[in-house]
């Protein structure tokens, strides 16, 4: 396991482990060059010396690196650092489809189809680049918290142009593997389609179609047994969806969908016509008609003798499982499609199966459907043509425009003139009681109307008019009320013989209760008694304190920053909370505070380490020295050297006696081999000189002396 804080490639910081798979561990990391969080897959130490596994790991990166698609977990980088082989991928917060199925028991038809469309779209993106996934299964399908479905883990993917024979190392998980994979035969895009069909089967029923006590048993079932129709367990499954699943899972690849494009077309059509009979199975390829494949003795032996091992490196554990919040809610509504309404399509229990309908009857029904479609098309054409006037003639309906009138310009008219002008257009008049001063219009003439001139209104609408009082309008300038306290601004406007209207808004620059702006603006000349609109500050917009307990310190700071808040971290030891994780926060989550507020929180330093003073074990024999160190909670690294001290006796220790070290640290003990009786240089390792600094990691850095480390 890689420690937090370690950098790979001088760029990617390890923030913590989030999962583990068959070949690799997955860590959450930060790309400091691009300032983003990523997932870092690191090959396990057991396989770093195995060239086959290293090549497989590199091949995964190469296969996925060229895939940049919304329905694929994107690969950003691959590298090696200090013997660690790593791959940098898109970090997806969410839940695996496997966990989602287990959580819900089984999915609805609508949800199954919606997820399948996104899944197959991702697979299609790989196939378009001539890459076969070979391990499609719910564990390798991720549903993000935003509802986006992504295909991941191209660990056994291979280009379709490869001519290598299929071996055990490239087989997918047995419950989802195609018959040709189980047989060790040729694998192409249709193998992924088979696995996708098994995945759809599991979504709609809640379980895989074939199971057994061993991988061999399951593989044989894929080869020899007929799949049970989903409708036997889910009676209300749409007919089209069942046909799609059964076509995907045909044992003969020739009878499956030839490519993902065909499959996607049927899935999308199933959303709008769930009970339609449009899935083309073709002759011998009719759903349910595929013959059982009888395996030869050689083929069975080949599976039993290594083609499918129970110890397969590709287990069903998803690399990201530990990163997903099991408590996160992923409701059916995340995948709703407005075109799919189960209620509109009736009760599936009452639908008839199309294969039971007489062929002649089906022909008649199709003819009737065509005739009905033609009639509907003509009706739509007529309605559209009538709307735009193509078919307009005597006796046809009038348009909305013919029931409306345009308000004339009434300004300058007397009340009687305005009344006649409006009445002639089929409109009424309403004269406002309050008259207004005007420098432009004489007493009794119209100053303005509502609606104003040029606006279209329905017939018989009353138009309000305001008449001139005949007085000259007095003007004034809007005083500088911006930045003034609300009450002061009101008084200044009243003194200027202006009326006040008020609104409010948040402001980070203007104190609460003070004027942010006014309309008309400061200094503008306006009529007296006109209205000036003030915008009053509500102060800084409040921010809601996020819940950061349980987050890493970097995630906590990011969450606070996104909320417009600052963070102040303190550290303390904890036996229950992992180092680097937030233990508590001073301000409760959900509380509203001003933006820019500093939120104090406490970060765990992990368990407090016990400090031990190194005991003096010089002049002891090796066994006694090791036992003494073990009693103190320390371990010994034994080194041997010719010395004048008696053979078998400790003549030197490092760190020296009395040095303060952490519990569990390693102490070097040097055992005398007795005096050197040879006359030539031996080149043996010498005890390190005491420099006054402590190297507590037990690393041999002084020579090639024999290290026989003894661990407690």
Enumerate the active-site residues: 135
Q: Is 299 helix (H, G, I), strand (E, B) or coil?
A: helix
SS (H, E, C) 514-526: EEEEEECCCCCEE
**For residue 543, what are the contacts with CB-CB under 8 A and spacing of at least 6?**
563, 564, 565, 592, 593, 594, 595, 597
Helical ranges in 552-661 per DSSP H? 553-562, 622-631
The closest alpha carbon to 98, from 436, 421, 338, 324, belongs to 324
Pair 293, 253: CB distance under 8 Å = no
Measure the CA–CA gap between 395 and 340, rounded to whole angstroms: 41
Q: Tell me whether residue 644 is exposed, middle or buried, using C-beta atoms within 10 angstroms of its C-beta: 0 to 12, 13 to 18, 19 or more.
A: exposed
Any bridge partners for residue 599, and if so which?
Answer: 567
> What is the token pair recorded at 591?
């509380």
| Exposure of 188 in the CB half-sphere (CA atoms within 13 A) | 11
Tokens 């003494």 belong to: 628
> What is the token pair recorded at 577?
């909370």
Measure the CA–CA gap between 88 and 37, rounded to whole angstroms: 10
Pair 536, 515: CB distance under 8 Å = yes
Any bridge partners for residue 465, and if so which?
Answer: 431, 449
**For residue 371, what are the contacts with CB-CB under 8 A and spacing of at least 6?**
none
> What is the token pair recorded at 519?
């309309």
Q: Is 334 helix (H, G, I), strand (E, B) or coil?
A: helix
Tokens 């002891």 belong to: 620
The closest alpha carbon to 410, from 483, 463, 358, belongs to 463
The closest alpha carbon to 467, from 526, 425, 527, 416, belongs to 416
Q: Express the helix, strand and coil content of the chain in percent, nearest 5 each.
A: 30, 20, 45
Q: Tell me whether residue 603 is exposed, middle or buried, using C-beta atoms within 10 angstroms of its C-beta: 0 to 12, 13 to 18, 19 or more.
A: buried
> What is the token pair recorded at 445?
């003439």
> What is the token pair recorded at 153?
């883990």
Measure the CA–CA gap between 207 and 191, rounded to whole angstroms: 20
Helical ranges in 131-214 per DSSP H? 179-183, 189-205
Measure the CA–CA gap between 469 and 395, rounded to whole angstroms: 50
Packing angle, helices 189-205 and 260-272, rounded to 10: 30
Task: With residue 302 as reference, give the H or E element that holds it.
Answer: helix 297-302
What is the four-CA torsion angle of 601, 605, 606, 612, rounded to 10 degrees?
-150
C-alpha 6 chain-centroid distance = 25
Pair 157, 218: CB distance under 8 Å = no
Tokens 């499982």 belong to: 321
Pair 136, 174: CB distance under 8 Å = no
SS (H, E, C) 182-196: HHCCCCCHHHHHHHH
Tokens 């996607």 belong to: 264
Task: With residue 294 as reference, give the H or E element that holds it.
Answer: none
């Amino acid at each position: 396991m890689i420690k937090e804080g370690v950098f790979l490639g001088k760029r990617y910081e390890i923030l913590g482990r989030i999962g583990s798979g068959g070949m690799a561990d997955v860590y959450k990391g930060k790309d400091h060059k691009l300032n983003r969080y990523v997932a870092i897959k690191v090959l396990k130490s057991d396989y770093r010396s195995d060239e086959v596994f290293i090549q497989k790991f590199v091949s995964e990166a190469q296969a996925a690196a060229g895939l940049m698609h919304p329905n694929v977990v994107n690969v950003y980088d691959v590298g090696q650092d200090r013997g660690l082989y790593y791959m940098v991928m898109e970090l997806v917060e969410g839940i695996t489809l496997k966990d989602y199925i287990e959580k819900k028991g089984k999915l609805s038809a609508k949800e199954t189809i919606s997820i399948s469309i996104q899944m197959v779209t991702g697979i299609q993106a790989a196939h378009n680049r001539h890459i076969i996934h070979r391990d499609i299964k719910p564990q390798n399908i991720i549903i993000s918290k935003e509802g986006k479905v992504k295909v991941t883990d191209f660990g056994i993917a291979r280009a379709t142009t490869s001519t290598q024979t299929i071996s055990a190392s490239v087989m997918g998980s047995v419950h989802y593997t195609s018959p040709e994979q189980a047989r060790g035969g040729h694998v192409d895009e249709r193998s992924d389609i088979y696995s996708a069909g098994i995945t759809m089967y599991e979504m709609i029923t809640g379980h895989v179609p074939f199971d057994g006590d061993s991988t061999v048993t399951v593989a044989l079932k894929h080869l020899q047994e007929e799949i049970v129709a989903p409708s036997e367990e889910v009676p209300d499954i749409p007919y089209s969806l069942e046909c799609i699943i059964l076509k995907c899972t045909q044992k003969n690849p020739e009878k499956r969908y030839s490519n993902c494009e065909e499959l996607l077309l049927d899935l999308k059509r199933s959303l709008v016509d769930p009970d339609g009979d449009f899935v083309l199975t073709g002759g011998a390829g009719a759903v349910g008609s595929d013959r059982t494949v009888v395996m030869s003795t050689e083929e069975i032996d080949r599976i039993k003798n290594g083609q499918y091992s129970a110890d397969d490196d590709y287990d069903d554990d998803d690399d990201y499982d530990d990163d997903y919040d099991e408590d996160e809610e992923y409701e059916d509504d995340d995948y709703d499609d407005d075109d799919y309404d189960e209620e509109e399509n009736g009760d599936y229990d009452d639908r008839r199966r199309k294969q039971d309908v007489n062929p002649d009857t089906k022909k008649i029904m199709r003819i009737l459907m065509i005739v009905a479609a033609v009639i509907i098309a003509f009706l739509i054409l007529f309605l559209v043509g009538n709307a735009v006037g193509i078919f307009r003639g005597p006796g046809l309906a009038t348009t909305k425009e013919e029931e409306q009138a345009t308000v004339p310009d009434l300004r300058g008219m007397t009340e009687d003139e305005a009344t006649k002008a409006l009445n002639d257009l089929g409109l009424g008049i309403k004269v406002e009681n309050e008259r207004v001063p005007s420098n432009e219009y004489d007493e009794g003439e119209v100053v303005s109307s509502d609606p104003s001139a040029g606006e279209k209104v329905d017939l018989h609408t009353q138009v309000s008019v305001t008449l001139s009082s005949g007085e000259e309008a007095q003007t004034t300038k809007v005083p500088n009320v911006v930045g003034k306290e609300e009450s002061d601004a009101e008084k200044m406007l009243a003194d200027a013989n202006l009326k006040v209207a008020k609104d409010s808004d948040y402001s980070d620059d203007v104190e609460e209760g003070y004027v942010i702006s006014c309309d008309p603006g400061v200094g503008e000349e306006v009529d007296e008694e006109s209205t000036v609109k003030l915008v009053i500050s509500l102060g800084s917009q409040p921010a809601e304190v996020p819940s950061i307990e349980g987050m890493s310190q970097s995630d906590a700071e990011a969450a606070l920053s996104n909320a417009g808040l600052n963070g102040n971290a303190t550290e303390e030891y904890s036996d229950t909370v992992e180092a680097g994780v937030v233990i508590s926060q001073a301000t409760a989550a959900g509380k509203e505070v001003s933006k820019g507020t500093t939120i104090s929180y406490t970060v765990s330093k992990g368990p407090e380490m016990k400090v031990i003073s190194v005991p003096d074990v010089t002049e002891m024999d090796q066994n006694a020295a090791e036992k003494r160190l073990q009693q103190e909670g320390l371990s010994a690294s034994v080194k041997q050297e010719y010395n004048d001290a008696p053979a078998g006796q400790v003549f030197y220790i490092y760190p020296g006696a009395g040095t303060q070290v952490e519990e569990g640290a390693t102490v070097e003990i040097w055992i005398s081999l007795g005096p050197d009786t040879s006359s030539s240089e031996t080149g043996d390792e010498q005890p390190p000189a005491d420099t006054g600094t402590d190297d507590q990691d037990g690393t041999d850095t002084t020579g090639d002396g024999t290290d026989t480390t003894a661990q407690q």
